[in-house]
A = this chain, B = another copy of it.
């Protein structure tokens, strides 16, 4: 029988000094891997204790992140088994209100970057790079 394994334990990094809570950083980091296809349906995630050890947080913190991801439809959780990535079809199209909110938050984000001294040229570079990845 083939063993279920993860395509190399995904390495994520969080900043314990950040003002954004650890469990949300974990959710964000894993969601990036899902969206970008670096972890795929059928793969399983490392255990909450393993991740907790790697990141330096309590395993319940990771558990909360996993539950959040389950609620978003990214993974299936079942007690005793490891968390497995699930095939989450296309999400329903977002309402316009949410698009507006996205625009506002994006602006705030870029403004913060500019304010912190990141050169506009650098920012443009990053934005363009993302555009490239999204187009094809």
Complex contact A102–B131 (CB within 8 A): no
How far apart sit A112 and B102, CA to CA, in the bound complex (Å)? 10
Q: Size of chain A's interface in residues, with CB distance under 8 A? A: 49
User: Which residue on B lies nearest to A122, using beta carbons?
Assistant: B99
Interface: A120 (CB within 8 A): yes
Could you tell me if B72 and A108 are in contact, using CB atoms closer than 8 angstroms?
A: no
Is A106 positioned at the interface, with any CB of B under 8 Å from its CB?
yes
For A13, list chain B residues within 8 Å (CB): 104
Chain A interface (Cβ < 8 Å from any Cβ of B): 13, 15, 19, 24, 28-29, 31-32, 34-36, 72, 90-94, 98-99, 101-120, 122-124, 126-128, 130-131, 134-135
